[in-house]
């Protein structure tokens, strides 16, 4: 079963009550912008799998993740989550005949959602992303 873990940035002025919009998104980084802060998620040279979904496409997956998060007692107001025991990573391993496991390449599954769940980004990275918070 997938376990959803919110990414909590300690000692920051980030508030989970603020609504963030997707400001920019590409193969190197994602920027979420709120009213008072900006979250920069940098994953340059770490991307194994990257996908963007608009609100009308991803509702089934979002519903499964949000239901699982609520059952696990996770605060769904966060914007960045890590998914442990990921079905997506298991599928990648199966489809590639466990080649990446044999090479001992680590994979980490992340999920980023924005204001009112309108923009959703799903990432599989080879190491943790660098997350920076800036005041606007």
Exposure string (b/e) for 81-111, b if CB count within 10 Å is 16 or more? bbbeebebbeebeeeeeeebeeeeeebbbbb
Q: Is the pLDDT of residue 11 over 70?
A: no
Instruction: List pLDDT tens digits, range 68-94.
Output: 888 999 988 888 999 999 999 999 999
| Confidence label for 128 from pLDDT (cuts 50, 70 and 90) | very high
Q: Which residues contact 36 (CB under 8 A, 6 or more apart)?
A: 15, 18, 135, 136
d(CA 107, CA 18): 30
- Whole-structure pTM value: 0.85
| Confidence label for 56 from pLDDT (cuts 50, 70 and 90) | low
SS3 state of residue 119: strand
């Amino acid at each position: 079963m997938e376990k959803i873990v919110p990414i909590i940035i300690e000692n920051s002025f980030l508030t989970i009550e603020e609504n963030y919009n997707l400001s920019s998104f590409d193969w190197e980084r994602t920027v979420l912008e709120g009213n008072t802060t900006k979250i920069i998620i940098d994953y340059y040279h770490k991307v194994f799998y990257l996908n963007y979904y608009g609100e009308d496409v991803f509702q089934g997956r979002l519903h499964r993740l949000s239901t699982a998060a609520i059952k696990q007692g996770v605060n769904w107001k966060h914007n960045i989550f890590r998914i442990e025991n990921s079905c997506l990573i298991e599928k990648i391993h199966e489809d590639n005949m466990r080649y990446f496991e044999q090479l001992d390449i680590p994979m980490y599954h992340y999920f980023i959602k924005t204001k009112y769940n309108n923009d959703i980004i799903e990432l599989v990275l080879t190491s943790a992303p660098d997350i920076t918070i800036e005041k606007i």
